[in-house]
Structure formats: C-alpha cells, structure tokens
Amino acid sequence: MLPSRSDSQQRSLENPDKQTMRVDSTKRTDKLIEVPRKKLNMRLYTESEQKIQDYVNSKIVTISIIGLVGAYAILIFIIVALEELLDETEFNNVSSILSWIELGILIVFILEIFVGLYAWGIKKYYKDKWLILDTLIILLSLFFVIFELADQKTSNVIKVIQAVFRFLRIFLLIRKAQTFRRLATISTISTPAEKIVRFLAELKEVLEDENMKLDIDYCIDKIGNNQLYQMGKLDEDNAEAMAWLNQSQQGKTEVKRILTNEQQQQQQQQQKKVIANFQKLNIPKRLLDILFKQHDDLYIDPFECDKLCGGEGLVNLMLFFFENYNLFDVFLIKPKVVRGYFEEVMKGYLDNPYHNKVHAQDVAQTCNFLLSKCKFIEIGQLDEQDIACVLIAGAIHDYGHPGLTNAFLINSRNELALTYNDQSVLEMFHPSQCFKIAWGNQKVNIFENLQFHKYRRIRESIILMVLSTDMAHHASELAVTNSRIAAPDFEPNGKDKQRLMDLIVHSSDVSNPTKSYEIYKQWTEKVLTEFWQQGDKERDLGLPISYLCNRYTTNMAEAQVGFIDYVVKPTFACVLGFLPAYEPFFQNLDKNKAKWQELIEYYKQQLASIQPK
C-alpha cells in the first residue's frame, strides 16, 4: 500500500502525462510558466553566501550549537543551585567566573545570528518568527551579564529579570533539538537529492502562484518519501500493459569453476570426479550426461530431464549444483541431507498444470544459466554462499503454490491471505514453509551446521529473492534497478549485488519466452490452463474474473505478445545492462513474438468456436 498523500498529491498521481497536477487545470497552461525574477522578488545569493548557508546547515554545526545550548542550560541550573546553597560572599566569589563563561556562550550565539543575517538576509532569516524572540532573549541576556560583571551589587529585581531570561533560553534547547531531528531525517537522503529538496524549498518561498507552490510540495514529498519510481495510472492506450503489471494484484572465497571451454585439459578429471559422486547417490546416467553438457544451457529440456529420473528432476539438479559449486563443504553437510531436504521440497509442490516441481527445476536451472554462462558469478564476484542462495531460492520459490494468484486468495478471503495480511501472500508463504522443513527435521536440515551469522545472511538473501518474484512490485523494482545500473556509483559486486541477485531469480521466473519456441509453447499452454481453472472458480464464486483467466475471452497468442512486450523484454533488457554475455539470447524474444503474432487469427477462430451459448 502506498503511503498516504494529500488530496492534491493523489490527484496528480492519477495520470501525470495527461492532466495537470492540480484540480483547477484551467488556471494553468500546459507549458512551463516563465516568471521574471523581478516579479518573483527573488534574491540571488553570492557564492560565498551559499557556502556559508551550507556550512551553517551542516550537521556538525547544528550539533555544536545544540551542545552549546545544552551547556548553557546546565550553567543556568548550576548558577541557581549555587545561589541557593552558598551565602552571598561565597556566591559572589564564584559568580564572576560563571558570568564570564556565560558571556562567552552568549557571544557565540550572537555570532550565529550575525552569520545567519549575512547569509540569508534579514527578511528571510526572520521568516521564522521564533528567531526574533531568540534574538531578543540573547541580547537582553547579554546586557544583564555585562551589567553584572560591571557592578556586582545588582538589585534583586535585576537578578529576578536576569534569571527569567536565563530560563527562557531552555526553550531554545527544545527548538534546536527539533531542528536536529529534522536534519537527521533529511540526512538519510543522498546528497544530490538533499540539494534538490533544499532548492525547491527555497524556490517555494519566493513564489506567489499558489498552484506552483502545491506542485513544489508534491515534488518535495515524492523525493523525500523515495517515491520517484512508483507508477501512476497508465492511460487507456496502455491498458494492456497495466493489466500485465497488475495481474498478481487483482568474506569472499574462490568459487570452484565447473566445466568451461578454457579448462579442456581438466575436463576429463572433473567429469570422473563428479560422475563418481553422483553415482553414489544413484543419479541416472542419462540425466547426468545431459547435465554435464547443458547444466548452464538456456535450451535444456526440463520436461525430458524430469522424465529421465522418474519425476525427481529438481532433487537431482540441486545435487548436481551442490557438487559442482562445492556447496557440501560450504554447508558442512553430507549429500544425503541435501537429497532429503529437496525431496521434501519436491513433495510440497502440488500437481498444478504450471506451478509445479518441474517449473521449480526450470527456474533453478535458468538461474544457473545466468550465473555461469552469462558470467554473473564473475561480474558480481559471488562467493559460494551467494551462489547457493540464488539456486536454493530458484528451487523453493513456488513451494506449495495452490495454482491460484494472490488476487484470488485475497478476494476469496483465503487463510493464507489473512495470515500474510494481503501482502505478497504466496511469496511470503513459500520461503516460510521451506525454512520450516529444514528446522522441523534434523535429518534434512541443510542449514544446521552453518555459523549463526552465515545462516542469517543466507536466510535473508533467499527470502528477498523469493519476494522479488511478486509481480505486484515488478514495474517499480525494475525502474529502480535500471536507475542503479545507469548510476555512476553502480557496484554489481558491492552494494547493488543483492538487488541484481533478486533480478536473477525474478527474470528466471518469467524467462519462458526467451527459450526455444517448442519449450515455451508447452509452458504457455500449462500456465493458461491453470489461469483458466482459476477463472472458472471465480465465475462459480461470483468473483471478478482476473486478467487472462477467462477461457472464453483470452486469446493465447495475443496474451503472449503482450507478456513479451510489457514484462519479459523490459526485464531482460535490464539484465542485459549488467550481463552483456546475454546478448545472443535476447533476440529469441522477437523470434518467439513473431511466431505468436502469426497465430493470433487462429486463436480468435478457436475462441469463437467455444463461446458459451
């Protein structure tokens, strides 16, 4: 759910491309308004004034002033306490020293005011009316301190007035503390964003047009709340794109290399070792031969692999990965534990047309394709724990999937939707259950021997990657990732690594259109069969039929053209931005799209023949 907005901000989000940001659009032109500086009465600050403003607003200066106000408050209490505890002679002996200290603090406050007046000018500096009171209190306090130092024998009335003005300074401490809290909040924004927000705030102060002020408020709100990449509503011409994007809501170590062209001399020895290890686990020879050749191949046939091992393709694939990436040693476990764990995971996949154990196997293998053949291991400098996280996330990402979308579960008030508060329902459910499998049975707990900090890192990473498969966040997350890839401080092997790992799993989950048309078509028929089964349930329950779930109106070919254009192609264009080795495979999208376009009329005729009477 989006953060709350003001009414004017909400209206401006509805369609920023086709309407103005305010209700009364007749009062504004579609072009930018050019306002003369003279009319705006805008003061242009010199470079030195701007530097002083930045320095005064800096965190270190603000903290120093707050510390000084705090010290002054303590000094006041000390003076009051000593005046009560000591007799007049003893107090007069120490009051002179305390007065000189107080005078020094007050001089600093006076300098602060003068610097502010120079940097911003009188009109803008005293725009905050409380600063007028501050100045008055400081000046009068300074007068009384100088008076006291000049004549120790002040009257009782003067002493009372002086004490009152001292205590009024405590209000400054409270106000400065509030200023510091605001500064701490703003400092979480990156430096360029902070400068933009400050500039917009200053611009607002010199504008007279109320509509322009509201627009500036809107901009500041979006930047401050990190909502630059949240999408507004698309226009009617992009209805199909909107339907696709909203479908779901209705310590580094050396990595052990595996079988590359550059290691031909070591290939035979490597194969013998791996074959021997897998033979101990009763891995079918025919499957093993395929995995040796195609473990990182985009065009491997997941259906054939599953048949070759009696429906245990997911288990055997994960055993292969654990052996080749040295993950048995990393997790400090025996192969039988890995087999046991993934057998339990495999059992948890229901016999759905699409979201089943073969789909999990396919996604895990596609993740490995992007890691190995497309060289994300090298580009992201992944260690063995990172590799394990990606592959495990791919294998478990749809565990226990009921063959229904989040939208259906929410609309039907399903127990899962109630448990996870309608937020990424299935994506929350899948990893939760898979971690329960491990910790519920010691014999299959692949995480048991990990050090606590390693386990926490692996658990957090896996959960993030599974959550990234929620299509509800597809558009916004893809926009942020694209912006990070284009940023000058992009670090695929550092601060951006987890985000890219998330995209590896998410892109693998929607990768069917990138593969051979024969495999892709099988997956398409399976997923639409599953969607149509849901649509039948929605029709029976009187619920709104979700996008693509109406078997009487969904043209399979048109649906796939839209899926490629609005989801898959933008996703893999982003992948190509940090994995240039993927480029030869990117053209598959256009080839497969062309084949579906040829079939649009065929599926239209098919729909016409099955319309209910």
Other Cβ atoms within 10 Å of 111 Cβ, number = 10
Three-class SS of residue 537? helix
Structure tokens at 122: 């009188």
What is the rounded CA–CA span in Å between residue 201 and residue 191? 15
Q: Active site includes 355?
A: yes
Q: How many CA atoms lie within 13 A of 77 on its CB side?
A: 6
- Per DSSP, 488 falls in state T
Three-state SS annotation for 293-343: HHCCCCCCCHHHHHHHCCCCHHHHHHHHHHHHCCHHHHHCCCHHHHHHHHH
548: left (phi over 0), alpha (psi -120 to 50) or beta: left
Q: How many residues appear in the chain?
A: 613
Q: Residue 430: is it exposed, middle or buried by C-beta count within 10 angstroms (0-12/13-18/19+)?
A: buried
199: CB partners within 8 A, 6+ apart:
none
What is the rounded CA–CA span in Å between residue 400 and residue 350? 6
Other Cβ atoms within 10 Å of 102 Cβ, number = 24
**DSSP readout, 395-458?**
HHTTTT--S--HHHHHHTT-HHHHHTTTSSHHHHHHHHHHHHHHHH-GGG-TTTTS-HHHHHHH
Q: Please check whether residue 430 is in contact with residue 398, taking contact to mean a CB–CB distance below 8 angstroms.
A: yes
Q: Which residue has the tokens 């016999």?
A: 351
> In this structure, which long-range contacts are made by residues 219-225, counting pairs with CB atoms below 8 Å and at least 24 apart in sequence?
221/5, 221/6, 221/9, 223/189, 223/193, 223/196, 223/197, 224/186, 224/189, 224/197, 225/3
Structure tokens at 506: 């998410």
What is the rounded CA–CA span in Å between residue 277 and residue 271? 10
- Calculate the alpha carbon distances from 483 to 93, 137, 282, 311 in Å: 67, 50, 47, 42
Report, in this order, helix, strand and coil percent for the chain, each rounded to 5.
70, 0, 30
Active-site residue, selected from the candidate residues 355, 359, 474, 506 = 355
What are the residue numbers of the active site? 355
